[in-house]
Amino acid sequence: MGNACKVSVLCTAYNHEKYIRDALEGFVSQRTDFPFEVLVNDDCSTDGTADIIREYAAKYPDIIRPFYQKENLYSQGGMVFLFSKVFYPSAKGEYIAYCEGDDCWTDPEKLQRQADFLDAHPGYSGCVHNTLLHYCDASAPDGPLLPAGQGDRDVDFYTVITGASHSFHTSSIVARREYILDPPDFHYTASDHGFTDYAIGLWLSLNGKIRFLDRVMSTYRINSNPAAWSANLGRQYAKLKEFITGELAMMEVLLPHLDAQQAQAAKAVMTERQYELYYIEGRVGELVKPPYDAIYRAKPFKYRAVVTLKRLFPALHRLYRKRKGYEDY
């Protein structure tokens, strides 16, 4: 085993007392023929998260590099701000991996498999894999993010731009450090709106191919924090509106980085997202106007009938939304 650090694992933690032990166990259980480090940042948690990190840092001093904040950095500038203050100046690895403190790795060969692939394929910017979705509130059955059994494959820009966060999960990413430690401008825009995984995937896809390994090697906990946007995405239209607005803002900044064909694909996705935003806001009259009318006409008859009723009887529509507990736009 060489002395140079091959992989730096970046782990953010905030009030993850219930889950951080699983994350740390997943890290220290990795079997590799190379050194790796785990940079774990406790962002001024108010529970026992920091104590558990201290326990693992004392037990595995050659792996765990802890950072303990006296004030919450995320609230001061988002995820990229936190990373730029803590992780980017400190990471030593040739490759960068991610896992948040309430998620975990479940395969001890994960890092070895991904690093081996990147070592053997210099034209690839990153390597990802399938992830188990675990619903902490049992609101849906657990299952893989993507259907299993379709084999290893390449992921390109067009897959990422259309699939958004459903192309792969952050906990699956291992990427070359040069594409992570100097994030592009649209990454900051995404961070300002509370998400970064979509931006990471887009940047990697613009700098090389991404290899998807058809193997579940991590778990993404959904609804682990009732206050998090991902826990409310399916129930609160306000959160969904916030997310789509952020996507649109990020894509505006992304466009100058694209060639003509890529920009055309991005603009098509922006049209679809704007359509969704109009629907969420109840502005259904916009759906039948260009360029959104093509999307509307492709919808099933029942959907179009409901939209027509909403257009003709907006007061009834608002009453329905209010009784359902949706935001009143």
* CATH number of the domain encompassing residue 131: 3.90.550.10
Q: Is residue 101 domain-shared with residue 210, that is, in the same domain?
A: yes
Question: Cα-flanking dihedrals φ and ψ of residue 213, to 5°?
Answer: -95, 125
| Token reading at 40 | 């774990």
Give the C-alpha distances (Å, rounded to integers) separating 155 from 17, 204, 209.
34, 10, 6
Select from 229, 255, 280 the last residue of a domain: 229
Spatial separation of the C-alpha atoms in residues 195 and 216, rounded to whole Å: 23
Cβ within 8 Å of residue 245, ≥6 positions away = 193, 277
Q: Is 259 inside any structural domain?
A: no
Cβ of 149: how many Cβ atoms within 10 Å?
6
Q: Which of 214, 229, 244 is the last residue of a domain?
A: 229
Domain boundary among 207, 229, 251: 229
Q: Do 211 and 71 lie in a common domain?
A: yes
Q: Pull the structure tokens for residue 281.
A: 């806001």
CA dihedral (141, 25, 48, 45) positive or negative: negative
pLDDT tens for the chain, 329 residues long, are 557 899 999 999 999 999 999 999 999 999 999 999 999 999 999 999 999 999 999 999 999 999 999 999 998 988 888 999 999 999 999 999 999 999 999 999 999 999 999 999 999 999 999 999 999 888 789 999 999 899 999 999 999 999 866 889 999 999 999 999 888 999 999 988 888 889 999 999 999 999 999 999 999 998 756 555 444 444 567 778 888 999 999 999 999 999 999 999 999 999 999 999 999 888 999 999 999 999 999 999 988 988 888 888 877 766 766 776 655 44
Q: What is the rounded CA–CA span in Å between residue 295 and residue 316?
A: 24
63-101 pLDDT, tens per residue? 999 999 999 999 898 888 899 999 999 999 999 999 999
- 50 and 199 inside one domain: yes
301 and 174 part of one domain: no
What stretch of H or E contains 275? helix 260-281
Q: What's the rounded Cα separation, in Å, for the pair 132 and 171? A: 10
Type of residue numbered 159: T
Phi, psi dihedral angles at 226 (to 5 degrees): -60, -20
Q: Is residue 1 part of a domain?
A: no
DSSP state at residue 287? G
240 belongs to a structural domain: no
Domain assignment present for residue 241? The answer is no
Q: Are residues 186 and 42 in the same domain?
A: yes
Show the domain range for 314.
293-329
- The counts of H helices and E strands in the chain are 13, 10
The predicted-structure confidence for 285-307, as pLDDT tens digits, reads as follows 999 999 999 999 999 998 898 88
Report how many domains make up the chain: 2
Q: What are phi and psi of 277, to 5 degrees?
A: -65, -45
Residues 299, 183 share a domain: no
One domain, residues 225 and 312: no
Does the pTM exceed 0.85?
Answer: yes
CB 217 within 8 A of CB 110: yes
The closest of 154, 161, 128 to 209, measured between CA atoms, is 154
Strand partners, 220: 133
